[in-house]
Structure 1
Amino acid sequence: MKRIISLMATLAFSIAFAQIPTLEVENQKKHPVILQEAKIDTKILGNLATTTATYTFYNPSSRILEGNLTFPLPEGVSVSGYALDINGKLRNAVPVPKERAKEVFESIERRNVDPGIIEKVEGNNFRTRIYPLPEKGTRTIQIIYHQELKNFASDYQYFLSFANATTIPKFNLKVWISETATVPKILENPDGNFAFQKQGNQWIAEINKTDFRPNEILKVTIPKNQNSSNVVLQKASGDKFYFAANVGLDFPVKEKAKSQKIAIIWDNSYSGSKRNRDKELQFLDAYFADNKNVSVSFSLLNNTFEKTEEFSISQGNWSELKNRILNVKYDGGTDFGALKEISGVEEYLLFSDGISNFGDLTMKFKKPLNSISSTPTSDFNLLKLLANQSGGNFINLNELDTQSALKTCKRLPVLFLGFKENPNMQELFPNIGSVISEPINIFGITTGNVGNLTAIFSVGNEKFEVPVDFSKAQQLENWQISQFWAQRKINELELNSTQNRQEIKNISEQFGVVSKNTSLIVLDDINDYVRYKITPPQELLADYQKIVSQNKGRVLEQRKNLLSKAFDKTRELKTWWNTEFKPVEKKEYPRVSNQSARDTVNNQRLEEVVVTGALGIKRNSAVAREVSSSAKLAESEAKPKGKITLVDVESTAEYMKDFQNLQSADVIYHKYLENRSKHEKQVSYYFDVSKLLFKKGNKELSLKVLSTLAELDLENEELYKTIYYLLKQRGHYDKELWITQKILEWRPFDAQSHRDYALALVDNKRPQEALNIYKSLLYQEFTDEISMRDNGIEEILIMEINNILKQNKNVDGSKIDDRLKADLPVDIRVVINWNKDNTDIDLWVTDPKGEDCSYQHKSTAIGGRISNDFTQGFGPEQFLLKKAVKGKYKIKTNFFGERQNILSGPTTIMAEVYLYYSDGRQERKIAVFQSQKENKQEDDSKILIGEFEF
């Protein structure tokens, strides 16, 4: 299936998730997508809130559209429900392991029927697909999430942002508030008519509007009911209950001693420009007004950790430092693995979104680090982890005003130590010993009435006790306290997500909460639930069980590994390699006049280019004698030495004209930053400028620009593959390994993901690990659709496995089946890969005799062979020639069926070109370039990328 168009939702919010998504589509004017209806329903009990947001999108155009809707949720909040309309009725999603959900999704979409899927990507960001949006038709999605409201003195506050909302044809907003005697106050109103009315024990406010554009925010304060219970229960199994206890910290919190020397680490990666700098500067204003005399070490973090600059703050005057911050340039990816301790520092302030997309955090700070977030798309858990590990505080400027943020920064961390009475309670969250914020909701599992308990907290060396009355706990029937509990547990586990991966997955699947490891999926056809062994929602369960029962004993999902085909391919390659290809030079024959004689001569000429050996055809004896004599003469001559020449495929983009007369890398980089706003989402802009800077000899600036591609989207394997290709070409093998490992985490169901990672291990001189990856890949099972997409990749894998065995004598190959082993050195090997699924790129090699080897003509007279034609996946395609003849060989590619994507730009190709592959003299060169329809260096439609000369 060829992808059509891409949608990206831009969402902003104050404290709660922004309810009104703004869809940006390619060619917005020609293909507008209208948010036809928005329905938002929020229920509030104490400081717990559950919101259900339902959106209907209308496609007025005459073509099918598809795309992604990506949105952030506040700190600690996850998606706990998702539904998609199937045949006009909303169908609830079910939890599935993240990688499995993506595999099933992509298998089914190849039939032009897309399921619905929602997944968590980097940070606290969530992505769902809206496809298909039928021509002149609608699709509806529904998202449910739970949140804990913030505590402000005598009330709770609920915020709902409508920032950037356009006019909505149908708009409905309803807020239910339970168990409060005093009327809630609306401080900011979406239309002026939104007002609460008492109905029983609830306050309800609702508006229904047509062609409505809401004001930017709804802000409601909810008075605390001092007489009602602060503990609520939901029945679990047996005599157990899930509980939520709201506990106020009514004891003095001590302040830390003021530091004499601090360090500010300022994330100036490209995404840093999206942070709320005004809030950050206001916080620093307050900080230096309180810490008037302090030394500051100022460092920048992007894909590197840039050198420290020293500033001295006197009498609260920090203007010099402020000017430095105001003039910071934002560029590059983010590598938390580059962070370092700064000597002499007593405390750190880290300003970042916490999303590390170019390396992993590997250190713990020995001095307190205060991590400060000002953007809703932050990775709150990583920022909390940095603070908690070091004894610092996490400061969320998205939710705190300046003075509250300063108060949080100054205080000694408050730790939760559990309950004094130690009743029969299980799974308390936050965990005992965790740093907590004020106020605190404690979630857990308990038996019925445990009476009056005492929660214990510590600040520094002092302990404090706070009473919690469980005797007045209220049991609720229609509140999912279990999902609140599960959400909190997942948040705690995700502080160490790699270590807790399996437990996160188990909890997410049990309670239907989206996490880093679990997604929610909706399938269109009941038979797909059966086939992929996914338990459906309740309304389909009876039909599902009936079909499963009828099919008992039969394999419901066909999954295949690559092993048997790899055995066959190894035999085929051995046969090909052992075949003797001996074409002879064309001979001149006397001209003849009659047709029959001309036919005889032509037949003789045709016979002369047919190969001999196991696959050959018997020639006439005279010609065979000539061939034998020529072969002996050729074998007596010295073997010609080959040479690789790669063509630099130049960009023809209009923006490159601005750089053509610039010589200095620094001047080019300055021009790149100056022009970037005009090409902000244009992938080729970063690709081309990075290549130009590399040619000018500045590897550091080139890498910084390249790493910026990681900041353009979240968990986008197509962008990461583009980065990977250029890292490999330029010898940044450590980063190549990290990038390919991330792609493998996202797409373990892709054979190409495993191969890329194995090749990166080889580049990092870790051949044994690479061999183990290849072995596991051959045994891994794939769905029918993905297996068919990658049909033929075995030929490439066999060459690479045997190359590792040949080039590395110390590698243990005992676990590789002997049927896969073959010594197959070749004079020429060319492999092309590309970064986009559902794309057809063709490899062409023309030999010195003018014969093309391609998907149309898979073998040549001199013994060239090409692998299977990949028309849907990421490639690869491979050309092999055992013994080169003298002359020039041309390597070309043809963009036969390219899938355009607004987020990941034009297709990127990597061509690996080898001389003497696997024979001890191996030489490799790499070409990386992007699709450019204007860039045709040959007379035909193909792009020339390189030549061999022997």
Structure 2
Amino acid sequence: MTIGTRFGVALLLCMACHLLAQAQLPQLKINDKEDPQVYLSHLCVDVKIAGNIAITTMEMTFRNKHNRILEGELIFPMPEGISVSRYALDINGQMREAVPVEKEKATQVFEEIEHQRVDPGLLERVEGNNFRTRIYPLPPNGARTIIIAFEEELKFTGKQALRYHLPLDHKKPIDHFKMELSVLQSALQPQLEEEPDGDLQFKEWNHNYTASLNKENFTPEHSLTITIPKSPDNTEAMMQESGGNYYFLVNCFPQKNSRPKARVNETTILWDASLSGLNRNTKKELELLGAYIAHNDNLVVHLAVLNNTFRKAGTFTIRQGNWSELRKAIEQLNYDGGTNYSRIDLPASDEYLFFTDGLSSLSDQEMKLPARPVYTVTSAPRSDFANLQYIAQKTGGVFVNLEALKPAEAEKLLTQQSLQFLGIKNNRQVSETYPSLPQPVLNNFSVAGIVTEPKATITLQFGYGNTVTTEKTVSLDYSKQQAGKVNLARVWAQKKLGELDVQYEQNKEMITFLGKRFSIVTRNTSLIVLETVNDYVRYEIEPPAELRPQYDRLIKQQLAQRQSREQVTLANALAQLNTLVTWWNRNFMAQAKPRPEKKNKPANADTSVMSVSVRTQNMEGVAAEAIPPPAQEKLEEVIVVGMGTQRRRDIAGSTATVSAPQLQENKQFSAEALQGRVAGVTADDSRAKRSSIQYQYNFTAPRIVKDEEVREAPDNRHDGDGSRQIMSTINVKQWTPDRTYLQALAKEKAGNRYKAYLAIRQEYLYTPTFYYDVANFFFREQDTLTALQILTNMAEIDLENHELYKLLGFKLREAGAYEEAVTVFRKVLQWRPQEPHSYRDYGLALADAGRYQQALDTLYTALKRDYSESMAGMYEGIEEIIVTEINQLISLHRKKLNLSGIDPKLIHAMPTDIRVVLNWNKSDTDMDLWVTDPNQETCYYSHKETLIGGRISDDFTDGYGPEQFLLKKAIKGKYQVKVNYYGDQQIKISGPTTVLAEIFTHYADGRQERKLITLQMEKSDEKGGILVGEFEFGKVSGKELPVAARAGKD
């Protein structure tokens, strides 16, 4: 039960971003704070520029003066069209080049080797055009060196020159700083607009220009900016031979051409007001919007606002360019919540302006597109440029990147019809030219392709719409235009990838192929460095050249011994099922200790139900919150959900009665009607046959979710009006809001609490626990819309952070926001398909959302997947949990399922009176599920069976669990669920470990009831584990009544 100590480090790097005034060199942070003991000690920058291609190589050494091992992470945004193409890491004092591998495999290999405490390095692309490198270990009182290189096409400036910019501002001295600059074969001398210290000067030799700088203990106070003058209307070409064909790159500088764009009468502005909007330059965006309105002068503007929801925020009539009211409305927006493109529902307009970073954290990136042009605008370095380009291209609009364009250039794209590149005139010698689709021409323009001969002539075509108005002929001659040190094949591949990435889903296989072939980091490919040749052999990753001979010899031996894991995984599942069936068929005769009888009215009959009451208790070290019932449940009859009869005075509040006609008339009704002031509800004798009821989440007491079957109460539970009640809830420990910010919110008046939250948020902007706590606060205050908005901020905090998304998904499931949970867990599956939990979490979310076939197929895939040997070993035993859930789905929804793809040997109905499952969101965490029965016997990892038949699944000492408790036949009395938390030694942005407890009664027998509870774990001195909840399973006198909220009835 021990866990290796590991400390996380956040290295935030903004580099090579065009025109980024505030960008600077790597800044090392630990726990979101700068640490002077971990710093950048050496920096060597090498820049080579040939034609319009710049190759930047940065060698960085980070020194760790702490006495403990650290894990390093750098996240850096890249401008549009740029990708990292080289990565190297020091291994035993020597730099080792990374090799390309599928992203899924790279992540899996890195994390497995990291557990062995050896030296892997990983560079991957995360959402948008953002890159992340992870290094382990940063040794105590030691250093690690990495090399990162990238290629970019330089853009033309208004000064008739190409411009190169590299941010170098740094607040602290660098022990050793070195810079080498080369501008190759330039007809005109390049100029240094900005340089680090004033000593840098170019020297010329045969039209090649070089400059260098070498400093000790140097603090660079300025960035590097180079301009390379070009002659107007000039054309440059470079060629490279490869495999009998010739790659070419043509760069031209056509005379500026545009024509006025027709004015519009009606425009819709869609403004992304999610949390990530704080990273946008809204001043630039408002300036651009002002120029657009000034051009159109008089028009009607519809304002729509997007975050985790979509809302129409008003219509504004602009007269003579006066848009003060519209501007005020935009400036008063609060940037809060996740981003959900699937909610967008645009009104009719002549055209649309969409201000966003292109990242939809709560849905897929695609949105429902209108028939009219959409102009996408971003001002954020961390943007999904490909998605924004796709939206604009698909609708006939234009993508405006305010990070790369000057204000006048951006304004021109919205108010002028720009000259477009339309393609290359038919030529049999030419193939695969990119761009292959029409592109606006701003200042300079480049096209790459392949020709079959060393000499060729190509004709570029330009125009407006689909009409060619200008042609430009270019002569290619390999003998005179050799590219030298520029890898044109890679430049060509990057242009092709940029076009393929616009429609990623359709092109992902080709994206993977090109990324691996040309060693480019893409959505699907990463660059990885491993320590030994045996690591490359073990994971079947082709190593760099110096290890290749040894690898080729060893890999032959491994391939001869390799065995597919798929059959092994299914065999394990069958073995686990057989063990379960053997347990299920046993007869356990132990009886519970007698419990004192409560005096009550005599009964006519006995009916087995789950009886629970709500009590509030102080809870040290844990934040637990009971959340509202599911948003959509299929109900045959609504009978009773309650905290008990009104005679039970240990619960404050009342019980509301809802008649069937009222349910028929109101498709949506508030929880005040549904649950009363204390989550109670009754129904009269009439039967409301409904396929679904939509709940609203208002509530004033801790939420008791009863989302499956409810049995009617016996006659002696009738109220005076003939309606009936039964006891059917679960006791949850009441969370004590002891954090300072929660106490501050509690003191505010209800109408002022959201405003107070925004003020407090500044101190906790990137702290997940803050959003978790505050969302729970608003849930308890009956403000569910605000609670969900605050909760979904977690999706905006970090890019592709699966632990954060699992936390968010747990909470969304608990809140009944099932569609949002489906999307969240689908993203986790896309990021981490190497783990069985990703399939399981997604499958369970699909089942919650009523997509039973998809759920079944996904859960079955979890059993069939060919996992790595170490992954299969780490989670051996998870098959028991997944097999149980597959059979539950089949038992409850067989009529709706196609079972032809399921191995019949895996199907076996095993209903149980009680099932409890414990899940958690972070790897390298050890915790145990404890369930204590009415006999005071506790079932846990070292006492796996109880006298009455309770059974616990295998213990997972790391990873994400889950652990499962089953009891086929429950005895009367109280059951208690606890978590024994051993802790984790990770310090990560995702915060403390979060658990999701799933408590079922009458599991899979057609009368199933369920309660979901999330808790954030903190160290506790509480002996005997942390209490999650407790419930009573017993007998209630009276006649059995029909089923309500029946999950298993199709």
- Using structure 2 for the length normalisation, give the TM-score: 0.82
Instruction: Confirm or deny that 1:506 pairs with 2:590.
Output: no
Maintained 8 Å contact 1:427/1:445: yes
Measure, in 2, the Cα distance between the counterparts of 1:663 and 1:919: 47
Maintained 8 Å contact 2:254/2:443: yes
**Aligned position for 2:323:** 318
CA spacing shift, 1:939–1:774, aligned 2, 3 Å: closer
Instruction: Confirm or deny that 1:6 pairs with 2:9.
Output: yes
SS of corresponding position for 1:307: strand
Shift of 1:457: 2.0
Maintained 8 Å contact 1:286/1:403: no
Q: Which amino acid aligns with 1:409?
A: L
**Aligned position for 1:368:** 373
Maintained 8 Å contact 1:46/1:224: no
2:846 to 732, 752, 761: 761
Q: Which amino acid aligns with 1:555?
A: R
**When the two structures are aligned, how many residues end up with a matched partner?**
897
**Aligned position for 2:972:** 886
Instruction: Confirm or deny that 1:273 pairs with 2:359.
Output: no
Shift of 1:888: 0.7
Shift of 1:498: 0.8
Maintained 8 Å contact 2:235/2:253: no
Q: Which amino acid aligns with 2:355?
A: F
Q: Deviations over 1:570-602 (max 9, x none)?
A: 111111111111124779xxxxxxxxxxxxxxx
1:906 to 992, 1002, 1007: 992
Measure, in 2, the Cα distance between the counterparts of 1:375 and 1:640: 56
Instruction: Confirm or deny that 1:106 pairs with 2:111.
Output: yes
**Aligned position for 2:248:** 243
SS of corresponding position for 2:74: strand
Gaps of 5+ in 1: 588-635
Q: Deviations over 1:639-679 (max 9, x none)?
A: 46444323344453332211223462x43222111100111
Shift of 1:423: 3.6
Shift of 1:384: 1.0
Maintained 8 Å contact 1:827/1:916: yes
2:407 to 402, 408, 425: 402
Shift of 1:727: 1.1
Measure, in 1, the Cα distance between the counterparts of 2:369 and 2:593: 72
Maintained 8 Å contact 2:257/2:419: no
Shift of 1:560: 7.5
CA spacing shift, 1:551–1:302, aligned 2, 3 Å: closer
Shift of 1:418: 2.2
CA spacing shift, 1:945–1:197, aligned 2, 3 Å: farther
Measure, in 1, the Cα distance between the counterparts of 2:845 and 2:752: 33
Which deviates more from structure 2 when the two are superposed, residues 428-437 or residues 786-795? Answer: 428-437
Instruction: Confirm or deny that 1:341 pairs with 2:340.
Output: no
Measure, in 1, the Cα distance between the counterparts of 2:540 and 2:565: 11
Maintained 8 Å contact 1:532/1:556: no
Q: Which amino acid aligns with 2:8?
A: I
Shift of 1:408: 1.9
Measure, in 2, the Cα distance between the counterparts of 1:714 and 1:236: 37
Q: Deviations over 1:914-945 (max 9, x none)?
A: 001011110001101111335x7x65442343
Shift of 1:730: 1.4
1:469 to 449, 470, 474: 474
Q: Deviations over 1:239-271 (max 9, x none)?
A: x11111012233632231011222221111111
**Aligned position for 1:173:** 179
SS of corresponding position for 1:768: helix
Maintained 8 Å contact 2:340/2:363: yes
Q: What are the residue-to-residue correspondences of 1:364-763 with 2, within 5 Å?
A: 364-412=369-417, 414-435=419-440, 437-460=442-465, 462-472=467-477, 474-551=481-558, 553-555=560-562, 561-584=568-591, 639=608, 641-643=610-612, 644-662=730-748, 664=750, 666-763=751-848
Maintained 8 Å contact 1:827/1:881: yes
CA-atom RMSD in angstroms: 2.3
**Aligned position for 2:229:** 223
**Aligned position for 1:59:** 64
Maintained 8 Å contact 2:10/2:32: no
**Aligned position for 2:920:** 834
Instruction: Confirm or deny that 1:196 pairs with 2:202.
Output: yes
Shift of 1:748: 0.7
2:28 to 12, 23, 28: 23
Instruction: Confirm or deny that 1:943 pairs with 2:1027.
Output: yes
Instruction: Confirm or deny that 1:818 pairs with 2:904.
Output: yes
Q: Which amino acid aligns with 1:858?
A: K
Q: Which amino acid aligns with 1:224?
A: K
Which deviates more from structure 2 when the two are superposed, residues 682-691 or residues 300-309? Answer: 300-309
Measure, in 2, the Cα distance between the counterparts of 1:662 and 1:789: 48
Shift of 1:90: 1.0
CA spacing shift, 1:25–1:136, aligned 2, 3 Å: same
Measure, in 2, the Cα distance between the counterparts of 1:33 and 1:168: 12
Measure, in 2, the Cα distance between the counterparts of 1:409 and 1:896: 58
Q: Which amino acid aligns with 1:681?
A: Y
Measure, in 2, the Cα distance between the counterparts of 1:639 and 1:491: 63
Measure, in 2, the Cα distance between the counterparts of 1:556 and 1:531: 13
Maintained 8 Å contact 2:257/2:418: no
CA spacing shift, 1:45–1:827, aligned 2, 3 Å: same
Instruction: Confirm or deny that 1:809 pairs with 2:894.
Output: yes
SS of corresponding position for 2:200: coil
Measure, in 1, the Cα distance between the counterparts of 2:567 and 2:173: 51
Q: Deviations over 1:364-400 (max 9, x none)?
A: 2322221111111111111111111111111111121
CA spacing shift, 1:577–1:452, aligned 2, 3 Å: closer
Measure, in 1, the Cα distance between the counterparts of 2:768 and 2:610: 39
Maintained 8 Å contact 1:798/1:820: yes
**Aligned position for 1:252:** 257
**Aligned position for 1:853:** 939
**Aligned position for 1:618:** none
Maintained 8 Å contact 2:9/2:28: no
Maintained 8 Å contact 1:105/1:114: no
Shift of 1:165: 4.6
Maintained 8 Å contact 1:123/1:378: yes
SS of corresponding position for 1:500: helix
Maintained 8 Å contact 2:429/2:456: no
CA spacing shift, 1:677–1:552, aligned 2, 3 Å: closer
Measure, in 2, the Cα distance between the counterparts of 1:834 and 1:441: 50
Maintained 8 Å contact 1:826/1:883: yes
Maintained 8 Å contact 2:978/2:1029: yes
Shift of 1:450: 4.2
Shift of 1:700: 1.4
Identity %: 39
**Aligned position for 1:182:** 188
1:293 to 290, 298, 315: 298
Measure, in 1, the Cα distance between the counterparts of 2:547 and 2:735: 54
CA spacing shift, 1:450–1:849, aligned 2, 3 Å: same
Shift of 1:49: 0.6
Maintained 8 Å contact 2:825/2:842: yes
**Aligned position for 2:706:** none
Maintained 8 Å contact 2:748/2:756: no
CA spacing shift, 1:637–1:181, aligned 2, 3 Å: closer
Maintained 8 Å contact 2:235/2:251: no
CA spacing shift, 1:567–1:462, aligned 2, 3 Å: closer
Gaps of 5+ in 2: 595-604, 613-729, 1035-1050
